[in-house]
Structure 1
Amino acid sequence: MNATKQQTPARPRALTAEFVAAPIRWLARHQAGPGLFFFCLTMVALAVLAGANLSPSVRLFVAGEIAAQEVTADRDLLVEDQQGTRARRDQVAQLQPAVFDLSREPIALLRQRVHDIFLAVNHADPAEQEQLRWQLAEALGAEITERTLAVLASEELQALVTTRALPWVESRLAEGVSADTRIVLQFKGGVLLRDLATGGETLRTDLQNLHDLRSVVSELSQNLKNETKASLAVRRTAVLLLSPLLSPTLTLNREATDARVAEMAGAVEPVFYRIQKGEVVVRQGERVSREQQLKLQALWARKGEKVHMATVAGVLLTSLLLGTGMLFSPSGRMGSAVRQKDLFFVALLLLVFALMSKGLTLLGQRVLEQGGGLTPEVLAFAFPVAGAAGLAALIFSARRYCVTGLLLAFFCTVLADGGLALFMFYFLGAMWNTWLVTRAQTRQDVVWSMLPLCAGLGLVWLGATALGGHVDPAALAWGLLAVVVNAMLSLLLLFALSPIIELCLGYTTRFRLMELMNLEQPLLQDLMVAVPGTYHHSLIVSNMVEAGAKAIGANSLLCKVAALYHDIGKLSRPEYFIENQFGGRNKHDKLAPSMSALILTSHVKKGAELAQQHRLGQEIVDIIGQHHGTRVIRYFYQKAVNLGENPREQDYQYPGPRPQTREAAIVMLADAVEASSRTLVDPTPARIKGHIDTIVKGIFAEGQLDESELTFKDLHKLGENFHRILTGLFHQRIGYPDAAKPGQPDRSPDRDAPKCGEKGAEKCPEKNGDRNGAEKSGQDRSGKATEKSGRKPDGPCPECPPCPACNEPQPAMPCCYGTLDGGNGDGPVKADVPPNASPNPAQDAPESAGPEANAKPAKPV
């Protein structure tokens, strides 16, 4: 518990490292690096091609000019009306309030300057009067006479200014006074007064009520007229004193105003013109308007781009996400099912058909410009993407050809500048064709499938066109013609390219597999004549693997054909395998154990060589080489040990490799189960089931299935289907009576058999008390196996057959059933057990029949 807690903090780091290292190890183990690199490079190239501009250039006309030719938009496009956008933004800018800073400094400065003037005139010496007048004249901007200077020094004026005039002016300045009202009135959206002292903002839209310096001076003069107690000279001198000292408290903050206007104008959405694909921008002979000129300029600018990077990025990201489905095996896990040639084939298929789709689109645009009746849309619907997906269905399993069809539909739609309707037509048509191809049993079935293919494509075309939002009755004939052409081209592609794929890439297509399944094939004829036992064994194994593969979703056709040919290597030395000896002498009796093992293991290598010579296909060659894995021929290995040798397991081991696919693993299991089932004593359904479980568990425990993709659920389903086939094979029959003539006794097998207790009766073991029944069955009175049977009792049977004499149930007796060679492939051996053999049946039984592995003998059920 403590160790676990201490390792917990380091777990995320370990998981991260494992996540990074796992794909690298997987690529190194399966050597899929070059194929994966080419596959990704193809994705990048097609994405760049999708964003590249290969369309013809657009003729550019200016407003007021007569169009010399008709211009049609080849894509959906949004065109910005820059003039309209600018006008809308200017309108928004004019409605924005201007920012004015409200400062308190002019008020304090005014008070200080008035105080300084009063202080100067009150303390001036008579000798300094003249100099003071010149200084005041310069400060106030007016001529200062001696009389004016005397008024300034009077208490009456100073009292009027400090108590009445100056406070009123300060209050007015605090409200905000501009230098000129015209500056404020130009902003129709009002002004935003920002107090620099407090930071507060006040929006003023009553611009007429805002004051400037001129209005403040005028209002000050009017107010002082009401001061009747003061003399006229005092009132005029007060105005003369304060007017020059006033400064505006409102100043325009140009930087803040521009920033605010730019922010609000930037929030205004641009004005766009929408151009739809196929829209006639300008007709021949028509006078070009300003709006049409903008659209033409946008089309011309779009075609002037070499590569549209946004399109490239979008297509590349989507294609890589879809392409990850190719890296997963049919069972949904990343594993060994992906091969370099799979990635190369899919990449080439995508590259060729995507380029053809792009070329067909450019051709359609040229035809449309020349005034032809064919449109790019009609040509796009005639393009046989369904045929390309059908080629993938001939080779791959359902998960993989669905991913291939999805990639084909995506790239062909993008490069054809199509929309959702075209993509749905391509993808659904591809899935419909793959379904038809996988159901075909002969090439003639594929020919007849053109009729349902046409019907299905027609329905998909109608649905896709309706999905696009418009169904043109005039284009119905062209659309149906395109569907028929599509179906015919798809059929031609299947027949024309499938032999090339088989020859160049080494694939075994469904057509080739169906041809190899014909029992008139030379290799199958040789099996039938030279090794009839092996031939019969292969037929039964083929039925078993077909049922099992269908149950778990594997390639049942490939499994069946591979099972028919998996033992063709026995054609070289048929007499060394028990199923072909038919009572003859066992040739392994005079051979050394190592030589016997060498002969048995050689049939795998010779079988692969024969398969290559007869061009059976790489998939079948691989299964032949893997159907024994790396199992050890335990019988001859143990025999060598008993003879005093010091053998190496590698010398008694099949060359392998272990099964790399589900199909190879299914053939291995069915081969071992069927061959070892021949040794069953009284093969009842219960015993068959127990025997299958023992063999399958033994192979699994050896690790032979580690590199395949079989799950426990798959093994359970395989066992159920193997049990069903073998139960039908070992069915029960009743004894038929002899056809007795009239007057003669019935000689049926049970009629003359003596009954229990009669003389000569074969009594039940428990009734006579001396275990005679056991001796009759090859056992002595102690329950041990006799040399005749070569089997050792391993325990009581839960279900023993009734007594053959009295047909009464027998008690449980020691017995042993199963395969003497450990359940590894070719049945029991007829030779006697060597005197120095160990008591283990899996080690003692001679393996002249070609024991297939080192599985333990089947335990009694």
Structure 2
Amino acid sequence: MKKKKLFNVKLPFYMKNKYIYILLPVTILAVFFFFVTLNNVHTETYELERFNSAKETIHSPITIENEQETERKTRETVQSVEDRYNISNEITDERVAYINEIFDAIAKLEEENTNNEESGDDNTAEPLSNQEKVQQLKQILSPEITEQLNDGVLAQLIEVPSSEREKGRTLFISSLEDTLENGVRIENIQSAVSTMQQNIKYSTMDSNLKESLTKLSEFAVIENSFFDIDKTNTARKDAASSVEPVMIRAGEVIVREGQIITNEIYEKLNLVGLLNKERNFFPIIGLSLLIILICGVIAYEMFRLNKIGQLDKGKIGSIFFISFIVILLMKIVSLYSTTGNQLFYVVPVATGVLLVKLLIHERTAILLAGLYAVLGSIIFNSQIPGSLNVEAGTYFFFSQLAGVIFLMNVKDRFAILKAGFGMMAINIITVLLFVFLSFEKYAITDLFIQAGFGAASAFLSAVLTLGLLPFFETSLGILSDIKLLQLSSPNQPLLKKLLTEAPGTYHHSIMVANISETACEAVGANGLLARVGAYYHDIGKTVRPHYFIENQLSINNPHDEIPPGQSAEIIINHPYDGAKMLKEHRLPKEIIDIAKQHHGTTLLKYFYYKEKETNKHVNEENYRYPGPKPQSKEAAIICISDSVEAAVRSLKEPTKEKIEEIVSSIVNDRMMDGQLDESPLTLKELKIVHRTICDTLKGIFHSRIQYPMKEAK
């Protein structure tokens, strides 16, 4: 028997150069994201001159206040505010009091003269002249009246009969109060006096009384309204604050094709940054910083996956291509989207996170869902720099999160379609949320159309996931749970071959699968991978099934007829025969590795010691498996479970003590022999595996009641 070379374990190139393999695709993604979103933040600039015709219709790329126009409008509004005046009620009361004083004094004077005439001698008493009456009247009137009022006015009032005079008094005071209450300013005294005189002129009073009252109005009406600077300033401030800012709205037409570019239009173009190339550079800086943040998060997640041993070239490629596909789908739809049709509802954005959850990890899917939503809010911002479409971003996030949550209990590809129905419900709810939050009125047809977009998005996401999943599984060599479930089906050709040609090995593989799956789940390893790997780990025994004891039913052991060296070679070859068969049937690399590594470099003790009985100089290396040693937790646990199951099955009466003794012996032997040195299992995890395997075996090989045999009569 020729000595076989030990397998030299080498780390994959991408593990040695993880920075290159992670940062290179992330950098390419960053460049892709940048150019896809560039026109959403960067606006075209124009070289235009005043008073020339515009060669094309130009829209405003942003919403901004036209401060110059707002100032002009504010200035005009302030200038239109009238001055505020305070009307002095004291002056009004004073002038009314003066008029009453005049009429009361005349009435009193006439009353005294009448009494004197009645009490005196008719032959000697002479009636007073008007001039004398005026002099007596002036002696009892206030100085302000006598100094300002002409004697002729008093004389005319004295001549008017008392009844007519009282009517005139009532009319005059009423008109005076109305005039003064409206306020009389220095510049409109004459107009106020004229108004009173017109009222007197068109009254039904005696002409003499009208004349006297007309002259009296010049005395009665004076300035009683004075400029109030505080009220005026307050009114102007209120008027200025009520002016709405003059806004240039994003998408607003600034100049149409063929229209003359006036000074006003030119200033608007300059204001929105369509003439300033330097100003147009800042949005690019902002976009670059955002892309750096997004890709930094992606790179961090990749390094985290690499640290816990869950990253390989296939998964790196998956994140790259999935991100590329999702963002490209958004960009294509955005080219046909407007503020009216809201086509972002139909984007099958959840496709990406569904694939990521199936191929990589749920945490990674949730993280990417948030990043894709942010990019979507930029892509669907209607190319308005500095703005984000929060509605689109929110819709994308909830749609993707629904896909991650509803994709559970994956047993077959129908789980994706079931998740699609859950996404459909969440999409429709999100659409209705936006409708009810909006102040705009929606027609019932628009409501159904938008809800239909949401349902179509969920359906397309599920269909695209089903269509793209085989591509990622095959082209990038990624093993998903769905693929594992398919491989675990008893109808698989290799499992059928194992069952028909090596039934004992098939039963042994089923038992190893149960034990290893439970142990893997206990330490956080992939239990499903361990189960499927255990199904196929001994497929190589189908090459020579009868050389393995579990398949030797009612036949002689063929190893009794051949030398130990040849027997060892047959036994040692089965992992590599199995790996070859698995490779020919294009099974995943993880399954092939388990088949190749499940014996590591262990010693085939039975045939080694049998050979040593006749040849003391036997080379131990010839009776060892060439390896490699288990490289993963799943392979290491299957390595232990394989030996434990075979050993416990050989016991005639397996008790708890015997099971624990055998498991401990095998685990210690694998550790001392260095078979677990290259696996990521820790000592703490190994103890958990030990305890879990013991508990599982005790459940399988539990003691049974010995039923009595019926005696033959």
Aligned to 1:520, what secondary structure does the other structure show?
coil
Q: In structure 1, what is the equivalent of residue 348 of structure 2? A: 384
**Contact map agreement 2:523 2:688 (CA 8 A) in 1:** yes
Task: After TM superposition, give the deviation of residue 352 of structure 1 in Å.
Answer: 2.7
- Answer whether contact 1:349 1:388 (CA < 8 A) is retained: yes
Q: How does 1:796-815 map to 2 (within 5 A)?
A: none
**Structure 1 residues 417-566: aligned runs within 5 Å:** 417=381, 418-419=388-389, 422-459=392-429, 474=442, 476-566=447-537
Tell me how far 1:740 sits from its aligned partner: 7.3
Measured in 2, the distance between the counterparts of 1:717 and 1:657 equals 24
Q: Distance in 1 between matches of 2:399 and 2:657?
A: 48
Question: What is the TM-score with the length of structure 2 in the denominator?
Answer: 0.62
Unaligned runs of 5+ in 2: 1-10, 72-244, 382-387
- Kept in 1, the 8 Å contact 2:517–2:530? The answer is yes
1:763-817: CA deviation from partner (whole Å, max 9, x where unpaired): xxxxxxxxxxxxxxxxxxxxxxxxxxxxxxxxxxxxxxxxxxxxxxxxxxxxxxx
1:534–1:567: 8 Å Cα contact kept in structure 2?
yes
How far did residue 535 of structure 1 move? 0.4
Q: How does 1:109-124 map to 2 (within 5 A)?
A: none
Give the corresponding residue for 2:74.
none
Using CA pairs under 8 Å that are at least 6 residues apart, name the structure with larger relative contact order, 1 or 2: 2
Native 8 Å contact 1:453 1:487 kept in 2: yes
Residue equivalent to 2:331: 358
2:315 maps to: 342
Structure 1 residue identity aligned to 2:351: G
- The alpha-carbon distance between structure 1 residues 387 and 649, as it changes in their structure 2 partners (threshold 3 A), is farther
Does 2:609 align with 1:623? no
Q: Which residue of 1 aligns with 2:358?
A: 394
- Structure 2 Cα separation of the partners of residues 589 and 718 of structure 1: 36
SS at match of 2:335: helix
The answer to whether the 8 Å contact 1:436/1:449 transfers is: yes
- The code of the aligned residue for 2:520 comes to A
Cα distance, 1:529 vs. partner? 1.4
Q: Find 2:300's aligned residue among 308, 324, 333.
A: 324
Separation in 1 of the partners of 2:299 and 2:247? 33
Q: Residue in 1 aligned with 2:6?
A: none
Provide the rounded CA distance (Å) in 2 between the counterparts of 1:720 and 1:680. 20
TM-superposed deviation, 1:532: 0.8
Q: 1:674 & 1:636 partners in 2: Cα distance?
A: 20
Instruction: State the partner residue of 1:126.
Output: none
Change (3 A) 1:488 1:658: same
Q: How many residues align?
A: 517
How many Å apart are 1:675 and its aligned residue?
1.9
Q: Which residue of 1 aligns with 2:88?
A: none
Aligned residue number for residue 27 of structure 2: 41
Structure 1 residues 74, 647: closer, same or farther in 2, change over 3 A? farther
RMSD: 4.2
Query: Contact 1:61 / 1:293 at 8 angstroms: preserved in 2?
Result: no
How far apart are residue 306 of structure 1 and its match? 11
Aligned position for 2:213: none
How far off is 1:539 after superposition? Answer: 1.1
Structure 2 residue 575 is the aligned partner of structure 1 residue 604: yes
Residues 41 and 441 of structure 1, relative CA distance in 2, 3 Å threshold:
same
Write the distance in 1 (CA, Å) between the matches of 2:246 and 2:637.
60
Which structure 1 residue ranges, 5 or more long, are not aligned? 1-24, 86-272, 745-861
- Contact 1:47/1:312 (CA < 8 Å) preserved in 2? no
Q: Distance in 2 between the 1:704 and 1:587 partners?
A: 29
Which structure has greater helix proportion?
A: 2
Tell me the SS of whatever aligns to 1:297: coil
CA distance in structure 1 between the partners assigned to 2:708 and 2:480 by the alignment: 52
2:275 & 2:514 partners in 1: Cα distance? 64
1:308 corresponds in structure 2 to: 284
Q: CA deviation at 1:493?
A: 0.8
Q: In 2 relative to 1, CA 735–634 (structure 1 residues): closer, same or farther, beyond 3 Å?
A: closer
Q: Rate the CA distance shift 1:443–1:644 in 2: closer, same or farther, 3 A.
A: same
Deviations along 1:112-158, whole A, 9 cap, x unmatched? Answer: xxxxxxxxxxxxxxxxxxxxxxxxxxxxxxxxxxxxxxxxxxxxxxx
Q: Deviations over 1:58-92 (max 9, x none)?
A: 889999999999876666x778969999xxxxxxx
**Aligned mates of 1:452, 1:28 — CA distance in 2:** 38
CA distance in structure 2 between the aligned counterparts of 1:361 and 1:678, rounded to whole angstroms: 64
Contact 2:326-2:351 at 8 Å conserved across structures:
no
TM-score, length basis structure 1 = 0.52
Aligned AA for 1:379? L
How far is the alpha carbon of 1:276 from its aligned partner? 10
Offset, 1:455: 1.5
- Cα contact 1:58–1:296 (8 A) shared by 2: no
SS of structure 1 residue aligned to 2:603: coil
Matches of 1:341 and 1:624, distance apart in 2: 21
Residue 39 of structure 2 is aligned to residue 53 of structure 1: yes
Q: Distance in 2 between matches of 1:72 and 1:555?
A: 57
Percent identity, aligned pairs only, is: 27
Distance 1:639 1:446 in 2: 56
**1:724-756 superposed Cα distances (whole Å, 9 cap, x missing partner):** 332222122223345679xx7xxxxxxxxxxxx
Partner of 1:297: 273
Displacement after TM superposition at 1:353 (Å) = 2.3
Write the distance in 1 (CA, Å) between the matches of 2:416 and 2:36.
34
